[in-house]
Structure 1
């Protein structure tokens, strides 16, 4: 049924279903926590294609925390891009540190050009629509994480995460790869007074496509933050990955991030980013709001 709905219709239906599934029942445990976030990420780059693509990735994220250590989440994104020469959302969202979402567009751009940089006969995007803007539901991602080691005097908090990406994005519009992906990561967090250090390493297994030269890839992220006040935390983040497609280069992006806890339940999270490698976006920005209850 979802395939017959337009992009906005798919997004609304999926968001409604996810909200309903994660609503606490009358008999639910009192300690169960919930979180809802809505944001938008903007990126602009040529991704080694010679054509600049402007992209917006707007995810609705709903999470449930059955215990202090266990969490589940689903991310339902709406995607816009100014051309169909690249495919958004090649990267799955690994871990809680965020995403390389729009940077992943370069992977399929390289795949469409082919390893030698010329036009590829296996392009997933029809030539007639390559220069047209595209929008609609992106690939939905479900994640689960568990804290296996809580932070101590010497040990950091250690939290493995697994995820599955569902091919809900329209491949013909370059809004997704049309393939299932899966991956896992492990992240470590350690506080040193008001300073916090965070790192993550993961691996993504991409679905095999006859149209795109996708391949499995590794992801690595790191961050350094300072608790400026009880509610304000600036951070510097480095996000990278090995090449996710034949003909693509590795990806690397630097971000300046600010987390602002407006109240005990409401917070804002924003960043400005700059690509370092050719396959990364030239620049990016994002802002999200979340509510915990």
Structure 2
């Protein structure tokens, strides 16, 4: 049985759908369970799982407001780092296995080739530093773990870059999008399928893994493809010009890595799985948006 933490979030919603599809029993929790409180974590497990039934804990909870974290270090630290001590303690006590999600923000973006799991970390933001501390807490406390670093996540639930672009492209005549941050998006359904593969194989190949869709683009490239496909599918009703710009034209509190491509070879070889190209996954997402718009 699975405990899905942060179950109402974008990624967790897709993981829940995969678990349901494959008849894997799970119980979810969200903000009603304070994972920064050791007693609350223990009480939830005691109340919801019979002895020996808890096999997996999937932690999708995080403080993800990247810019807000710069002024709210204490809460980011509690959710992204300190809570992992409680989760790891419970995972170990009940003999479960942890799947936890981290971020490309643990890197500083100075590389010119895709980051592998063993590359040196050097986070440049409160968000990145607290997520890295969470990783380190897991590694120190719990051998049976999978840490999956991902990037540029988008999906059906909640606001994300794709939904924001679709809205703005229908409202504005022109948009500027940064063209000096390079990476690859991650479609939440694709990552959820990878999580299911880990659970089903259960091959005990613990450690850190990287996952995003295949490709090498900037946010400007991403926006142009959203516009192209969105127009073709009838999701964008008007013309909108998209112009490239630099990050300095849109100053933000938190530093973003200028290069955050993740090398997925370890993930593909270990589990194994096929990772879709970013533009193919965008098509899948937009088809879902089109279908929902028809009802």
TM-score by shorter chain over 0.5: no
- TM-score normalised by structure 1 residue count: 0.28
Larger relative contact order (Cα-Cα within 8 Å, sequence gap ≥ 6)? 2
Bigger strand share: 1
Determine which structure has the larger helix proportion and give its number. Answer: 2
